[in-house]
Structure 1
């Protein structure tokens, strides 16, 4: 008999994987994935950048490299977070990772022992839950309102759980809800982290993709005690296939994460790192990001219009100012997975809300993605979804 570790799910199932596989049927209009729009990948520009890398840094790009990452890329990151987020940092504050998922894993290894408490938004990013659950974390769910994480509830949770090791939060255009934490709450989170001596992992993969409203500085910008780790990725603004993420924080913490990374994959792909450095040198990244934001904003508006037109009365949904997702609540529905099956019969798909909750799921919730759906299919998909929702609501009356 094969003896797996406790980190492997006992039932061996992959519910989300099964849902996404079902949604991959070409006849299904799927709002389930979290993929960037591939038509905006800068293929020609990146090819030119890679050619330059081989011409000017070929041997270096093909050799083993430092676990913390290419110095030039880390310098680029410190400059960008200063300009975009108001974060003062130096190269020693930054480590490049193999995607932002690796940051989640390394932070789990560094901070979580079996039985340790981790505070999370309710709901939150499902892969973070999977990672920290694999290290034996016990979750403390902190509720949200229309402006994201409630700081009053956070302080109450910190009082009631003084041994909590970590707070994980997606501060901008949260996955799955699309909500953004306002600046006063960000300041309070940094204040509470210092007061209760808890580490904060601020995950910001979507922050650059804003198509409405005003930019809000990162929580890390208000951190004066080195209690906040800030992580992000190049996946949403350049190429997810490159698997380039990064984490920024106290050099003492980055040192520990670097040691853990060394035993995981030694270092992140050298060629991909150099390609991003050269791409930034040759191109206007902000212009490229503006193009992404404009397209996603257009698609989000079409989603909102379609939901107003086709969804039954009483269905609630968020209206994000950026990012890739919005969150839906259908009153009266008690089994969202069963609802997914009904929608799949109508050839439309979403991600059920259940996996995004650390504790008891809120019934009738699900996530919709708009970044990876062609405009001409959005209305038809929402028409199909509206019919399935209407049928489900009527059945539960």
Structure 2
């Protein structure tokens, strides 16, 4: 006897969400001959493998080994939370361990916040352009995503004020330091203005800060969440993915007590807790390692890679091209002259064994098809130089006049 098929294979929410073009692109270009500027990937040669191996060995050789392999509390390893809290405090955001929730990467933290705060139809504001996986999370929650204009100094507070008065948003999501995808940093005066606007208009700030410690020049700015007005309106997200190793999948969020409890319940319903052994090893690693020295190793390696990409762009970019010159992070945002479609350009670039991410997916509304994102963190300067030459050849072909 035949059985009826399920009414629908997908929920309406999931059916409206596209796969990440970056993840799809990484799968497509997994060939050793391709120089890929597509993924925002830390350089694997710089992973602190020996020290991380030692941390896992120490945990598994200790009297606490069986505890580290057992179920644990949702909030996270107390020793790890205390270490992270002390580090946040030294960076200007006074924090205690009980204000933190350890998450399975900061990506999970975005999802938890969307679950706890966003009802279908609620307005979520984002800087334009913005991190595309955050857009996925908010779309899955049924949010109405409204872009806010940004420029070389980050989110424009005047535009934010006008939109906040009109839209009555629930949440503002932004990456204020070395933003993904643009590499821009929100200035100090603008941080003050954004914090004050959140307090006066009653919306939450979701500050995503995975890149903030990867600074190559200039003075560090304290987190946006530390500015007056943000005390009771901000949620701060951090991660070990860019300064440690992304395979650990360790992130954290800091939130006011009442919201933190709701976020903890949301995490209980999601995965119960983040890997106990990974948290224990991370705590051991952070205790035994001079993390500031490790970060200096990373910035000393990434700085010349950024410089090589900027120099390469200057040599290949057609007239009218603009690009960001970031003080840190992993990304350079490029805008080619009007009429160049970077999705079409990517197809041509792949024939030259070089890749990037077209800019369109980073826009929540009307995209700018002439934009693209380049990541400089994965390759050595000489490989970046060669990759830019390949991209230059693709550009020359794309811009060549059509034969008569």
User: TM-score surpassing 0.5?
Assistant: yes
- CA deviation vs aligned residue, 1:208-246 (integer Å, no higher than 9, x gap): 100111100111111444100000101111110010000
Indicate which of 75, 78, 83 corresponds to 1:71. Answer: 78
1:255 to 2:261 alignment: yes
Q: Paired residue for 1:373, among 379, 398, 401?
A: 379
Classify 1:13/1:210 alpha carbon distance in 2 versus 1 (closer, same or farther; 3 Å). closer
Q: How does 1:11-30 map to 2 (within 5 A)?
A: 15-30=21-36
Q: Which stretch has the larger CA shift, 74-83 or 386-395? A: 386-395
TM normalised by structure 1 equals 0.96
Unmatched segments (≥5 aa) in structure 2: none
When structure 1 is superposed on structure 2, of 121-130 and 387-396 the one drifting more is: 387-396
Corresponding residue for residue 69 of structure 2: 62
SS in 1 for 2:108: helix
Residue 102 of structure 1 corresponds to 108
Quick one: structure 1 residues 364 and 266, their matched pair in 2 at CA, closer, same or farther if it must change by over 3 Å?
same
2:137 counterpart SS class: helix
Matched residues, number: 395
2:180 to 172, 175, 180: 175
Which SS does the other structure have where 1:264 is aligned? Answer: helix
1:211 equivalent among 204, 207, 216: 216
Cα displacement string for residues 358-394 of structure 1 (whole angstroms, at most 9, x for unaligned residues): 0000121000000011222111110111122233234
TM-score scaled by structure 2? 0.94
Report which stretch shifted further, 350-359 or 304-313.
304-313
Instruction: Indicate if the aligned counterparts of 1:333 and 1:393 stay in contact, CA closer than 8 A.
Output: no
Distance 1:321 1:6, change over 3 A: same
Deviations 1:73-105 (A, max 9, x none): 111111000101x11122221000000010010
Instruction: State the alpha-carbon separation in 2 of the partners of residues 134 and 13 from structure 1.
Output: 12
Matched, 1:122 2:125: no
Deviates more, 1:303-312 or 1:137-146: 303-312
Equivalent of 2:170, from 143, 146, 165?
165
Counterparts in 2 of 1:289-368, with a 5 A limit?
289-368=295-374
Structure 1 residue 33, shift from structure 2 partner: 0.9
2:159 corresponding residue in structure 1: 153
- Alignment check: 8 A CA contact 1:311 1:387 kept: no
Counterpart-to-counterpart distance in 2, 1:175 and 1:10: 23
Q: Which residue of 1 aligns with 2:95?
A: 89
The answer to whether 1:194 aligns with 2:199 is yes
